[in-house]
Amino acid sequence: MSRSVHCVLLKREAPGLDRPPYPGPLGQRIFENVSKEGWERWRGHQIMLINEYRLTPVDPKSRKFLETEMEKFFFGTGSSKPGEFVEPARD
């Protein structure tokens, strides 16, 4: 049986995550307040950040940056795209 949450990103009820997607209190907060769809949106945004800023996820500075952006994405003012980022063309 799947659980539902009132997703802070989608602003509506949606299927919730099966388990916390990140360790610690932030992961628990995401588990309680973010839907599967919301988490997938973050993952796409995170990939863009990693690629555009050329981050190495195993680097502690990169991990801290991504954690800060994750918190802003879900619970703050939102995570911004890099200034020079151009959306890929869709056919």
Q: What predicted TM-score, i.e. pTM, was given to this entire model?
A: 0.85
Provide the β-strand partners of residue 12: 7
Q: Which domains does the chain have, with CATH numbers?
A: 4-75 (1.10.3880.10)
Residues 45 and 81: their CA atoms lie apart, in Å, by 8
The pLDDT, as a whole number, for residue 81 is 72
| CA–CA gap between residue 9 and residue 4 (Å, rounded) | 14
CB 37 within 8 A of CB 10: yes
Strand partners of residue 15 = 4
Please give the chain's pLDDT, 91 residues, in tens.
589 999 999 999 999 999 999 999 999 999 999 999 999 999 999 999 999 999 998 999 999 999 999 999 999 987 777 766 666 676 6
